[in-house]
Homo-oligomer: A and B are copies of this chain.
Amino acid sequence: MTIRIGLLLFPDLTQLDLTGPLEVFSRMPGAEVSLLWKTLEPVRSDRGLGLLPDMRLADCEALDILCVPGGPGQIALMEDAEVLGALRRLAPGCRLVTSVCTGSLVLAAAGLLTGRRATCHWSSLDQLALFGAEPVAERVVRDGNRITGAGVTSGIDFALAVAAEVLGEEAAREIQLQIEYDPAPPFDSGAPRTAAPELLARVTERIAPFIARRRAASEAAAARLG
- Mark A residues whose CB is within 8 Å of B: 14-16, 19-20, 22-23, 26-27, 33, 35, 42, 47-52, 54, 101, 121-122, 139-140, 150-154, 156-157, 160-161, 164, 169-170, 172-174, 176-196, 199-200, 202-203
Contacts and interface: CB of A to CB of B under 8 A. Distances in A.
Contact of A156 (B54, B101, B153): B153
Contacts of A164: 186-187
Contacts of A183: 153, 156-157, 183, 185, 190
11 contacts: A19-B20, A23-B152, A33-B48, A50-B52, A122-B180, A153-B179, A154-B180, A170-B199, A173-B187, A177-B190, A179-B190
A169 B181 contact: no
A160 B189 CA distance: 11
B176 A190 contact: yes
Contact of A173 (B20, B47, B189, B192): B189
Contacts of A185: 156-157, 160, 176, 181-183
Contacts of A191: 177, 180, 182
B180 A150 contact: yes
Contacts of A161: 186
Contacts of A176: 185, 187, 189-190
A19 B26 contact: no
Contacts of A174: 189, 199, 202-203
- 5 A-B pairs with the lowest CB-CB distances in the bound complex, closest first: A151-B180, A50-B52, A182-B190, A183-B183, A19-B19
A176 B195 CA distance: 9
A190 to B, nearest CB: 3
A123 to B, nearest CB: 9
Given A48-B26, A50-B51, A203-B177, A139 B189 contact: no
Given A15-B19, A15-B22, A186 B157 contact: yes
A189 B203 contact: no
A164 B191 CA distance: 18
Contact of A42 (B52, B170, B192): B52
